[in-house]
Amino acid sequence: MESNNAAQVLEAKIVKHCAPVLTGIKPASMFSCPLKSAQCCGNPACTSLKLVDFFLAYDDCKNRLSRLGVEMTILNQRERSALVFVYRPSHLLRTISSKESAEFLKTLGYDASDVNKSLNILAQRIDVANPSSGRRRTCSFPHEIGVFLGYPVEDVIGFMENQGDNYLVCGCWKAYSNASDAITCFCRFEECTQDLVCRHEAGTRIDELVVPERFEAA
C-alpha cells in the first residue's frame, strides 16, 4: 500500500475509534492497527498496512495532531498489529490524578501526577500481559487501562471484582455504578463518532475535525 493510502487508512481509524478525543470530550482512546506480514496475500480489500507505510502515516498524523493538543503513542507493537493510544495530555492528567483514580493507580505502582511515566508503566504492563512471541495477533490489557480511557474508576474496580459479570449496562465499558450516566455517555460518544466519521468520509481533513486544545471541553 502506498504511503498516501496508508495515511488515509490510519486517519480513518483514528476518526472511527478516537472521535470523542478529537473533540475534547474524552481524555483518551485506543485502537489496534493491523500490520501486513511478509507473507501477506496481497488481497486488495485488506486494510492492513506495511510496517514502513504505517510508521510514515503515524509520524505524519502524530505531528499534525500534536500541534492541536492531541498526542499519539504506540503502547504495544507486535508482528501483525500496533496498539495506538490517542490522548489529550491535560485532560488525561486531570482524569488519572483525580483523588479516586490516583489512589487506585498508586496501588498498582503508578505515579498519577506524571502522564508520560504512567503511560510508560502501562505499556510495560501490557507487554508483561502479552509475552512476545511474534505470533500472537491479539493483545490483553491490564484492567486499569479503563481509568486512562476515562471510564469511572468505580466501574473499573467493579469490573475487576466481578470478573466482567453482573454489570448494570454495557456500552463503551461495563458500568457497575450509575447506569443512567453511563448510557448518556455512551450516546454522546456514539453521536460524536457518527458525526466525525461522516464529515471525514465527505472529505474533511482530520486536522479540521479536532477541537484545538485551547477550546477543549472539561
* The pLDDT of residue 48: 81
* The pLDDT of residue 4: 72
Query: Rounded CA gap, 110 and 8, in Å?
Result: 35
User: pTM value?
Assistant: 0.89
**Which residues contact residue 213 at a Cβ distance below 8 angstroms, ignoring those fewer than 6 apart?**
68, 69, 70, 88, 90
* The pLDDT of residue 17: 98
Query: Rounded CA gap, 89 and 94, in Å?
Result: 9
* The pLDDT of residue 187: 98
* The pLDDT of residue 59: 97
113 in Cβ contact with 94 (< 8 Å): no
**Which residue type is seen at 181?**
D
83 in Cβ contact with 16 (< 8 Å): no
Give every residue of the chain whose pLDDT is below 50, as ranges: 1, 133-135, 137, 215-218
